[in-house]
Amino acid sequence: MDIVQVGEAVLRGKSKLLTRDEILTPPIQELITRMRDAMRNAPGVGLAAPQIGVPLSVAVIEDKPEYMKDIPEAVLTSRGRRPVPFHVVINPVLTLHPGTAVEFFEGCLSLAGFTAIVPRAQEVRVECLDQHGEPQVIEASGWYARILQHEIDHLNGTLYIDRMLSRSFSSVENHVRKWKDRPIEEVKRELNLDVES
């Protein structure tokens, strides 16, 4: 399945909320399955319904241990990245916990081939419904908190490029070649990120 790329209006709209009864219908359950498969095929750690062209307030998240096997332990620790089992987030309401924003490179399946440094809250709380229409409260930190902020942004028509440090915008190719796994402060210095643009 193709992931909708930036420039399509569906990525810039506000997603429609679902009732519990709607969530339990076959079309929504099938949508969740399609989203799970599209996320795993990509592969990605999260996917929002607008990214497959559906303007509904549904996101799926999964960060598998196998995605981490080639990432150095120190990098995983600095990002607070730990495995997150598959789950579904519907009608989420996001609360950012106060604290210093954390900056890391972030990518998006709808901006294939690019990445940038994006400041995000270190800790968040999300109130939502799950795939059974049951209320859930998620307290998350580190990389999981970043994934939640990224996916919930999608449901509000916001992309990471709206929040990125614009001078850090990079092709994935250059990122892998030059910036991957280096301390973010070093990257910011070399890219002259403190220069007024």
What is the Cα Rg of the chain in Å? 17
Residue 39 makes contact with Zn ion by CB under 5 A: no
Q: CB of residue 174 vs Zn ion: minimum separation in angstroms?
A: 20
Site for Zn ion in 91-120 (CB under 5 A): 108
Cβ 138 to Zn ion shortest distance, Å: 18
Residue with the CB atom nearest Zn ion in the bound state: 108
62, 103, 106, 151: which one is catalytic? 151
Q: With residue 36 as reference, give the H or E element that holds it.
A: helix 26-41
Which tokens belong to 51? 């990214």
Measured over the CA atoms of residue 92, residue 151, residue 147 and residue 169, the dihedral's sign is negative
- Give the binding-site size for Zn ion (rule: CB under 5 A): 1
Q: Least distance (Å) from Zn ion to the CB of residue 11?
A: 9
Judge whether 73 counts as a catalytic residue: no
Pick from 78, 45, 53: nearest CA to 151: 45
Residues that bind Zn ion (CB under 5 A): 108
Active-site amino acid positions: 151
